[in-house]
Amino acid sequence: MANITPIRTKEVPNGPGAAAILAAGIGSAAMGIFALAGDAFTSLNHFFTFYKPTGGLSGVSTSAVVVWLVAWFILSRRWGEKNVEMVKVVSVSFALLAVGVLLTFPPVMDLIQGK
């Protein structure tokens, strides 16, 4: 019979997981908010044009990724060794994810802008 080594599960605080989950929610919401802002305001679309051939999408996506990583870094530093209230963190993360999904959907973008 093969020698199977089961994994020993040590107690890891929930803080690092909470930080990663909330940061993913923040990054998703940032993507939706920046996409809407770039679509609604021509000046912001120009600002988001980091790479001309890709247009505003280059800045919208890069900015959202930067917001996500910065949020993850800050939250990890604060919660790295702690246990946090996960129900709240997960609820807020799902709400932020929903914001990201909704604001990237063109009919919702148009509705908000009154188009």
CA distance 15 to 25: 15
Minimum distance from CB of 82 to other proteins (Å)? 14
For the window 76-105, what string marks contact with other proteins as x by the rule CB under 8 A?
Answer: ----------xx-xx--xx--x--xx--xx
Type of residue found at 51: Y
Q: How far apart are CA 95 and CA 21, in angstroms?
A: 12
**Cα-Cα end-to-end distance for the chain:** 68
Residues at the site binding other proteins, with contacts judged by CB under 8 A = 4-7, 9-12, 14, 16-18, 20-21, 23-24, 27-28, 31-32, 35, 39, 51, 53-55, 57-58, 60-61, 64-65, 68, 86-87, 89-90, 93-94, 97, 100-101, 104-107, 109
